[in-house]
Amino acid sequence: MAVKERMDYIKKQLHSQSYKLTPQREATVEVLLENEEDHLSAEDVYLLVKDKAPEIGLATVYRTLELLNELEIVDKINFGDGVSRYDLRKEGANHSHHHLVCIQCGDVSEIEEDLLGEVEVKVEREWQFKIKDHRLTFHGVCSKCQRDKDSTNEEVGRQTVDQL
């Protein structure tokens, strides 16, 4: 779906709760839509949105992100560095997607497919817990870093192809 159409949908979501899509909010959403792969902090968003709306204040960015989070348009996530990051939900998704965090290069990538279907059935049944959402993050070594490590090893000399 085009950015324009998703913006319209978000506009409807705001209006349905009698919030306005002000120019500042629109510019902020635009930044999120145009950087969907990234995981921007409030400060990141602020710097990017200043190009579109130079007069915007940091407080407004925080307020807007908080609002979008309440409306479940974005998820507020935390990867353990000291800042919150704001992650647009995938089109049509009604819950947070999964993440892969590389402990070597720091790269964060996404898994859009929901892998928790069966697990959630089990949790609801065996723990009597009604699940509304989830957060799943894997920490490990991304494919790129695995390859880099292999090359390094080859340069050094003979070696086993893989160790677990």
Partner DNA sequence: TATGAAAACGATAATGATTATCGTTTAGTA
Partner DNA sequence: TACTAAACGATAATCATTATCGTTTTCATA
List binders of DNA among 130-149 (CB under 7 A).
Answer: none
Tokens 């080859």 belong to which residue? 154
Q: Which range touches DNA (CB under 7 A), out of 14-22, 101-109, 119-127, 128-136? A: 14-22
| Chosen residue from 38, 44, 72, 110 binding Mn ion by CB under 5 A | 110
Q: Of the two residues 83 and 131, which places its CB atom closer to DNA in the complex?
A: 83
Q: Which of 10, 29, 40, 64 binds DNA (CB under 7 A)?
A: 64
Residue count, binding to DNA (CB under 7 A): 24
Q: How far is the CB of 56 from a copy of itself (least distance, A)?
A: 24
- Should residue 44 be labelled a site residue for Mn ion when binding is judged by CB under 5 A? no
Phi, psi dihedral angles at 114 (to 5 degrees): -85, 115
What contacts 109, CB < 8 A, 6 or more positions away?
99, 100, 142
The binder of 64, among a copy of itself, DNA, Zn ion, none, by C-beta within 5 to 8 A per type, is DNA
C-alpha distances in angstroms, 59 versus 15, 46, 64, 87, 118?
22, 9, 9, 19, 41
Minimum distance from CB of 103 to a copy of itself (Å)?
Answer: 6
Site residues, Zn ion (CB under 5 A): 102, 104-105, 107, 142, 145
Q: Which of 94, 72, 89 is nearest to 36 (CA)?
A: 89
Q: Report the C-alpha gap between 70 and 95 in whole angstroms.
A: 13
What number of CA atoms fall less than 13 Å from residue 29's CA on the CB side? 24
Which residues make up the interface to Mn ion (CB under 5 A)? 87, 110
